[in-house]
Amino acid sequence: MPTLTIKIQTLGGVYKRYASSLEKLGIVRLGDFLYHVPFRYEDYALISKISQVQPGEVVTIRGKVLEIKNEYTRRYFVIQKAKIKDQSGVIDVVWFNQPYIVKSINQGDKVSLSGKIEKKGSRLQISNPDFELGEDEFIHTGRLVPIYPETRGVSSKWIRRQVFRLLKENQKEIEEYLPSDILNRNGLQNLFDAIYKIHFPLSLEEAEVAKKRLSFDELFLMQLSSLKRRGEWEKNLIGFVFDIKKYNGQIHEFIKRLPFELTSAQKKAISEIFTDFSMEKPMNRLLEGDVGSGKTVVAAAAMYLAYLNGFQSVLMAPTEILAQQHFKTISSLLESFGLRVELRTSSSKKNWKLETPKGYPNWKFDILIGTHAVIHKGVNFEKLGLVVIDEQQRFGVEQRSILRKKGDNPHVLTMTATPIPRTIALTMYGDLDLSILDEMPKGRRIIKTWLVPSAKRNGAYEWIKKQIKEKGSQVFIICPFIEESESIVTVKAATKEFENLKKNVFKNYKLALLHGKLKSKEKERVLSEFKNKKFDILVATPVVEVGIDIPNADIILIEASERFGLSQLHQLRGRVGRSERQAYCLLFTETGSPQTNTRLKAMEKTNFGAELAELDLKIRGPGEIYGTAQSGRNLLKIASFSDLNLIKQTKKEAEAIGSKLTKYPKLKQKIEEITVKEISPD
């Protein structure tokens, strides 16, 4: 097997230990190291004779170790002291609290050191320098040194070593796959050089040229593979065409009986979906709309039409809470029209007599709503006509495709609240048609948002109490975001905060706690009691982020808000302001850093998800907005969605290749590799 495709998990020793940390960085196979590109370079290129160094200079010196030792200064504090000599002189070196250094550097070793020269009394010293041993190959000192995104236990230095070794030992495997006319036309350098130079450039200009080539590839391949997916999708023919005219009356009745008037954006989305339904190829549409823009009712209208045409629908949601909520909403919207709606989650499984012969289930439904449990092999449909996937980025390609195969080329509607600017959506999801809900239901007010520094914490609590007493407000308190998934650590912290609030802050109020480790029955109970105003305050972990709809809640307080991206905060904030009452969002922060404040201040100023997403894109990079690659769609690691020119340029090239892909075997293989990776993200 080629080395670069080996999964790190399957290697022994340190790799095995680091595998899960590396995965967080998107490094699963050895080859992924090559595409883990530096976000900046340390400039250690100035190599100096010891006798010529100046205080304040960042330099590299090379010489022989005269002595090195640990020196114990205070209790628990060790400094490492060394003297290094070259032909021109001797200099002191000092490190702080890194006793292992004394084990890795020995007297007599040839060493290269990079760092800042300081004046200590009358002498010069270099403190906390980066270093490496040897005298011929330097990657950590004496040059532009790549600095990478790191994660616990995985340092830039370690990553750098892996990258260098792979480049040296596996050069043959890094084969050019772009046709030469594309390379020439776009002035791109060859693949190996680009990869080598993005990690180990001799100048920043070199790094820039390399980055351009790799950004080109990333956007080009993304668009080419979505064109390929679109081509494949368009080969699917369905045996049915929904009749729309015939059921016009019923659909109008449904819309008339809604408790509100549809926004024109909702009407447009519904009509786009209905147009798809009247085609002979299955719909593949992305419905994008900010939190609270009312996607659910659009999906309900689509499912109703499927029902009228004699077809079942399924709706898959990413969490149990959401599935339950959709179940309630959709039941209340559609049961009065005679539809049977069922719920299927992993906890409802036991009550389900679903292991019945295929095709003859002894349960009947028109709409099935659930979590990923709906893709279980025991779940069968008689006539599945429409698949709806909520918060699609949380599901893998494979899960979606299993669900789809439960029908005969059913229509697919995916929904997302992630505000992706149109150009980006067209790049990432070029195979999907797009409907955007760019308009909020009437009467919604702007959610008043305030940044609350720690000095004002108590004042904020008092204000909340007053709102509860005087206006009957209901409040979400969101505990800090600790780890990516709902871990035991997060749950413990939330429990502690809950106890603290109950005992010390909101003594005479009714509080409840919600977190991901609760049994789903319990979650459901807590939520429905909160909805029925049995509690004033719901303390929750960030699980409430997606979709929960409690129109009465009008205040949300978010702890440690600096840990969230703006888009995430916006999603959280969207839990309130779902009625005509004025809603408030209080962002608590502990760090007073000016950058953090500027970033969070944006929340005070704007209520538009798309605007905040653009800001996030500028400040924190796309990874933070669109989550990590778990979604199955490869996200950008190198290119930027804000590079509209490159997006256009690559789009043109991808379209030019179009169906002629077979003419370029290496490129074709590359695209297939990407597709395989998407289907098995592990």
Residue numbers of the site for ligand ADP (CB under 6 A)?
Answer: 260-263, 266, 289, 291-297, 417, 441, 547, 549, 551, 578
Please report how close the Cβ of residue 295 comes to Mg ion at its closest, in angstroms.
Answer: 5
Residues sharing a CB contact under 8 Å with residue 617, sequence separation 6 or more, in sequence order: 625, 640, 641, 642
Q: Where does residue 287 fall: left (phi above 0), alpha (psi -120 to 50 degrees), or beta otherwise?
A: beta
For the record, the structure tokens of 147 come out as 């600095």
62 or 578: whose CB is closer to Mg ion? 578
Task: Give yes or no for residue 201 binding Mg ion (CB under 5 A).
Answer: no
Q: Which is nearer to Mg ion, 194 or 322 (CB)?
A: 322
Considering beta carbons, is residue 177 or 608 the nearer one to ligand ADP? 608
At residue 514, the 3 state secondary structure works out as: strand
419 contact choice in Mg ion, ligand ADP, none (CB below 5 to 8 Å, kind-dependent): none
Q: How many CB atoms lie within 10 A of CB 135?
A: 12
Task: Report how far residue 238's alpha carbon sits from residue 385's, in angstroms, rounded to the nearest whole number.
Answer: 10
Closest by alpha carbon to 603, among 547, 564, 550, 575? 564
Which of 452/538 has CB closer to ligand ADP?
Answer: 538
Report the C-alpha gap between 327 and 407 in whole angstroms.
21
578 binds, among Mg ion, ligand ADP, none (CB under 5 to 8 A by kind): ligand ADP
Q: How far is the CB of 609 from ligand ADP (least distance, A)?
A: 10
Shortest approach of ligand ADP to residue 579 CB, angstroms?
8
Tokens 């792979």 locate to 166
CA distance 209 to 190: 11
Q: Report d(CA 246, CA 597) in Å as an integer.
A: 57
| Of 272 and 653, CB closest to ligand ADP | 272
Give the binding range for Mg ion (CB under 5 A) out of 84-92, 260-268, 504-512, 547-555: 547-555
Rg (CA), the chain: 29
Q: Where are the beta strands (DSSP E) in 73-203?
A: 78-86, 89-96, 110-120, 123-133, 144-147
- Closest distance to Mg ion from the beta carbon of 549 (Å): 7
Structure tokens at 463: 């204000």
Does position 547 bind Mg ion by CB under 5 A? yes
Q: Does 419 bind Mg ion (CB under 5 A)?
A: no
Count of other CB atoms within 10 angstroms of residue 580: 12
- Contact range with Mg ion by CB under 5 A, out of 13-21, 30-38, 205-213, 544-552: 544-552
Q: Tell me the closest approach of the beta carbon of residue 325 to Mg ion, in angstroms.
A: 8
Whether the Cβ atoms of residue 190 and residue 176 lie closer than 8 Å to each other: yes
Q: Shortest distance, CB of residue 440 to ligand ADP, whole angstroms?
A: 9
Give which of 40, 17, 44, 27 is closest to 166, Cα–Cα. Answer: 27
Smallest gap from Cβ 326 to Mg ion, in A, equals 8
**Residue 480 touches which member of ligand ADP, Mg ion, none, C-beta under 5-8 Å by kind:** none
Measured from the CB atom, the residue of 547 and 632 that comes closer to Mg ion is 547
441 binds, among ligand ADP, Mg ion, none (CB under 5 to 8 A by kind): ligand ADP
Question: What does 363 interact with, of ligand ADP, Mg ion, none (CB < 5 to 8 A by kind)?
Answer: none
Phi-psi region of 216 (alpha: psi -120 to 50; beta: other; left: phi over 0): alpha
Identity of the residue, 294 or 430, whose beta carbon is nearer to ligand ADP in the bound complex: 294
The neighbouring-strand residues paired with 556 are 476, 585
572 contacts 478 by C-beta, under 8 angstroms: yes
Taking the complex as a whole, how short is the minimal distance between the CB of residue 540 and ligand ADP, in angstroms? 17
Quick one: 547 or 577, whose CB is closer to Mg ion? Answer: 547
Q: Identify what 214 binds: Mg ion, ligand ADP, none; CB under 5 to 8 Å per kind.
A: none
Residue 291 binding target from Mg ion, ligand ADP, none, CB below 5 to 8 Å by type: ligand ADP
Which residue lies nearest ligand ADP, judged by its C-beta?
294
For residue 89, the SS3 value is strand
Q: Candidates 151-159, 163-171, 541-549, 600-608: pick the segment binding Mg ion (CB under 5 A).
A: 541-549
